[in-house]
Amino acid sequence: MNLMVINGPNINMLGIREPAIYGTETYQDLQDMIKVYCDEKGIAVDFYQSNSEGDLVSAIQNAWRAQVGGIVLNAAAYTHTSIAILDALKATAIPAVEVHISNVKEREEFRHISRIKEGCIATVEGKGLPGYIEAIDILCAYLQEK
């Protein structure tokens, strides 16, 4: 099984950006946690992060070309605005789980809307970095059922 973890804007600033909301662990800590977990489960995993919407669309399309089995996607702020990312998810039909480190429903009103949700099989939010592990488990269960 091979997965791709795609992260959007400012996720590279973990540990620096609003630690009261996002915690003090860094983006490297996130990658290390996921890599250890995936290694234990025998899952190949690649990472991609960009602050640019078009790059995220390209990463989803490239995942399809590489025949990636599933995507864990934290589109960050683009979650609330990007029809382009939704269209890429729908076009490729790669099973994806939307992840949010914080509980977006307890934050500003504009964060309550997810434009990408329709292109995902599930959403994990408000669980901090371990939410990525839950998303991987959801994807693995979904892919095993197929």
94 backbone dihedrals φ, ψ, rounded to 5°: -80, 130
Q: What is the pLDDT of residue 18?
A: 84
Exactly one of 22, 27, 78, 132 is catalytic; name it: 22
Say whether 22 is catalytic. yes
Sorted by where each begins, the domain ranges of the chain are 2-145
Say whether 80 is catalytic. no
pTM of the model: 0.94
Tell me the C-alpha distance between 13 and 27, whole Å.
Answer: 7
Closest C-alpha among 61, 74, 62, 60 to residue 10:
74
**How do residues 77-99 score in pLDDT, each as one tens digit?**
999 999 999 999 999 999 999 99
Tell me the C-alpha distance between 40 and 38, whole Å.
Answer: 5
Upper half-sphere CA count for residue 133 (Cβ side, 13 Å): 15
Average pLDDT of every residue of the chain: 94
What CATH number was assigned to the domain covering residues 2-145? 3.40.50.9100
Exactly one of 27, 48, 78, 100 is catalytic; name it: 100
